[in-house]
Structure 1
Amino acid sequence: MKTTFYCLLILAFQFGFATEKDSLADNPFSNLPQFSTALYEECDACGCSASGGSMGFASMLNTNFIGIRYFNQSYQSTDGLYSNSPWYNENFNTVQIWARIPVVKRVQISAQIPYHFHNRETNTGNQSINGVGDITVLGLYQIYQTHKDSTVFIHSLQAGAGVKIPVGKFDATNNGSVNPSYQVGTGSWDYLVATEYVIRRKQFGLNTLLNYVIKTENDKNYQFGNQFNYAGTFFYLFESASFSVVPQLGFAGEVYESNYQLGQKVRNTSGDIFMSKLGFEIGKEKWSLGANLMLPITQNLTGGNVEANYRWSFNLNYSL
């Protein structure tokens, strides 16, 4: 029931902003950047399968590209057994090859191949894990775009679905820790539905997105909870003869359902977080460089035993 509800909510929200279709033949962004921010935040509350999330799934200045991105997530966790239980630092790091490639008219394929290297403090000393993470592939279909000579607003709506392939290693010994997401992979095939809507007036615009991740049980009988994500980003395009700059400001939210082990709900694994977003991207010819920072505003992760400190990323892309 929850899955059906969220899927319907995604479609209702995005189509609620849509205007009457004008034309699919003309692309209003054919000579401008495709202002796309995040399509995923499938990090299972932290970093075990993090591959983009509210940090962003597409370049702000390259419609079609291949690039490399690094992002860092900082958390702290406690067992919460006592009022003075110590807090330990956790750092989730990812280097990622990512791309967005046109296939046929109106259809794009986005892909991410991550390599994770995480570390954390524990009461017995420091721990670290590393390895190739789960690969994500998403197909997006352009439902409509308004004429580029629209006198008021330019609109764009995309929707799609994808899959996360369980390439990364899942270590069942971490299931009993305070943060079960301390992994490089989930070990499960997960499925995604997503929509993205952009409204633009001259240099100003707003990008909104909704997506839902359906997660399945892995061969260790562990299942991470399904995940609902939303975000909105205001942007401004500054262009000169030699370069372009896009500052951006917005918000992002994530809602996590409970994990399951052997068919039983795992206590204190659901939660939610709401964050602010600040970033920019600067481009010259076929190259672009971007950076983003996210800070939590409100959060309730794993019953309050895990707290997010910040997330940040930078990326270097080459336009295809």
Structure 2
Amino acid sequence: MRPSLAYRLLAVLALWLLALAPTRACDLCGCFMGITPYDNQSSLSLMHRYRAFNGYQELGQQHRFFPTGARPFFPGSLQRDTGYKHDHDGSPTDYEVFRVVELRAKYFLAQRLELNAFVPYAMNTSYASGQELTLSGLGDVTVFAGYHVLRAIETAGVQSRLILGGGAKLPTGDYQRRNPLGRRYPTLTQPGTGTTDAFLYLNYIGSFHNLGLSLNTSYRRATRNRFAESTAPSTSTFANLFYRLPLKGNWQLYPSAQFFYEKTKGEMFEGHLTGEHAMNNALLGPGLDIYYKNLSLNASAQLPVYTARTDHPASAGRLVMAVGYSFKQTKYLIKGGNSIVL
């Protein structure tokens, strides 16, 4: 994202979250009332994601997490087109970088029912044959609900949670931007997609004393946009093996090893598979979550351990950073009209 008005508002929100006066977490038998602190509480968070693609595998080129000229956080300008043409001709300097700053909100209507909304600001850069294109703006908003089928968290030693849910990614982002000559920019560089994506997911979180595991898998299908474009059905799986390190003064650390896998057959046009931007990638890397009272800081990075060969730049890595605030929720809107207690 660029330092635009929208981003400044998000930055102010982040500072507000950090300035909120946190309250003491609720303990039971030396454990939080959750598998991780406040994992069953309403919350607000601000997340930054960075994803890079570069290096043509079929030409034996190496990929780099931070390609030369790419910025992990903010592009150099709000919108830049230096004569860009969407042409992957095998240059080792080609890259695609996708950045998202996302406001995330979770609210528990009931002890077992959560509602979520993600509002992203996308910053996409593509560099090909010495020319660069950067487009930024509001992305596609995601809304979904999850039901906690299994909620065995008030047991010392062993705790488990199983969540089933689903939702949709809505076509709120602009996907029709054009160059000065009236030619539409490539679909994947646009802030939005123009499609409505429905998805289902399953999330299991379990722990034994201080050792825990989180597994999340999802399946997604997309509609077509006005240009008859869509993407093939996709699946993704995320696994997080973590360890709890309690410290003095309400501090807790959760170092982790995180695995991410994604697969899709790529883009479709008028319902027919084109194969463009197909992905079959596995990434692995470290993560660290820091909790202080109601505040959380999260950081993780995953590097490729497997990437299927395509004629496009290969997956080079993924970086995630977030700050969040969780509410000490003891009552719920669905029961007697009670809501969050701070």
Range into which the TM-score falls when normalised by the shorter chain: 0.7 to 0.9
State the 1:70 CA deviation.
1.1
The one-character-per-residue Cα deviations of 1:30-83 (angstroms, maximum 9, x if unpaired) are: 9627558xxxxxxxxxxxxxxxxxxxxxx9867431011112111126698999
Q: CA deviation at 1:180?
A: 4.7
Structure-to-structure mapping, 1:1-320, within 5 angstroms: 32=32, 34=34, 63-76=41-54, 85-123=91-129, 125-146=131-152, 148-149=154-155, 153-171=158-176, 180-242=187-249, 243-300=251-308, 303-320=310-327
Deviation at 1:147, TM superposition (A): 5.7
Preserved CA contact (<8 Å) 2:123 2:134: yes
Where do 5+ consecutive residues of structure 2 fail to align? 1-26, 60-87, 328-342
Amino acid at match of 1:254: E
Cα 1:147–1:250 change in 2 (3 A) is closer
Contact persistence 2:140–2:193 (CA under 8 A): yes
Counterpart-to-counterpart distance in 2, 1:29 and 1:159: 28
Q: 2 CA distance for matches of 1:133 and 1:61?
A: 26
- The question of whether the paired residues in 2 share the 8 Å contact of 1:178 and 1:305 is answered with no
Q: Which amino acid aligns with 1:263?
A: G
TM-score normalised by the chain length of structure 1: 0.75
Contact 1:28 1:146 in 2 (8 A): no
Give the superposition deviation at 1:286: 1.6
Give the deviation of 1:155 after TM superposition.
1.8
Secondary structure in structure 2 of the residue aligned to 1:181 = helix
How far residue 299 of structure 1 moved from its aligned partner, in angstroms, is 0.9
After superposition, what is the alpha-carbon deviation per residue over 1:138-157, rounded to whole angstroms, capped at 9, x for unaligned? 10000012263366x32211
**Closer/same/farther in 2, CA of residues 319 and 203 from structure 1, 3 Å limit:** same
Quote the residue 1:6 is aligned against.
Answer: none
* Deviation, structure 1 residue 127: 1.1
Residues 150 and 240 of structure 1, relative CA distance in 2, 3 Å threshold: closer
Q: Render the CA deviation track for 1:290-314: whole Å, top value 9, x for unaligned.
A: 111011111126x242211111121
Distance of aligned partners of 1:61 and 1:290 in 2 relative to their CA distance in 1, 3 Å threshold: farther
- CA–CA separation in structure 2 for the residues paired with 1:68 and 1:213: 24
Paired amino acid for 1:32: F
The answer on whether the counterparts of 1:60 and 1:246 sit within 8 Å (CA) in structure 2 is no
> What percentage of residue pairs aligned between the two structures are identical?
19
Task: Give aligned pairs, total.
Answer: 269
Distance in 2 (alpha carbons) for counterparts of 1:184 and 1:29: 47
Distance 1:149 1:35 in 2: 10
AA of the residue aligned to 1:234: L
CA displacement at 1:103 relative to structure 2:
1.1
Report if aligned partners of 1:78, 1:178 keep a CA contact under 8 Å in 2. no
> Is the 8 Å Cα contact of residues 116 and 131 (structure 1) preserved in structure 2?
yes
d(CA) in 1 for partners of 2:121 and 2:153? 40
Name the TM-score, length of structure 2 as normaliser.
Answer: 0.70
8 Å CA contact retained: 1:131, 1:169: yes
Larger Rg: 2
Unaligned residue ranges in structure 1 (runs of 5+): 1-26, 37-58
Letter in 1 for 2:238: A
* Aligned alpha-carbon RMSD (Å): 3.2
2:308 alignment partner, SS class: strand
Contact 2:199 2:220 in 1 (8 A): yes
Q: Is the 8 A contact 1:134 1:164 kept in 2?
A: yes
Alignment CA distance shift 1:295-1:124 (3 Å) = closer
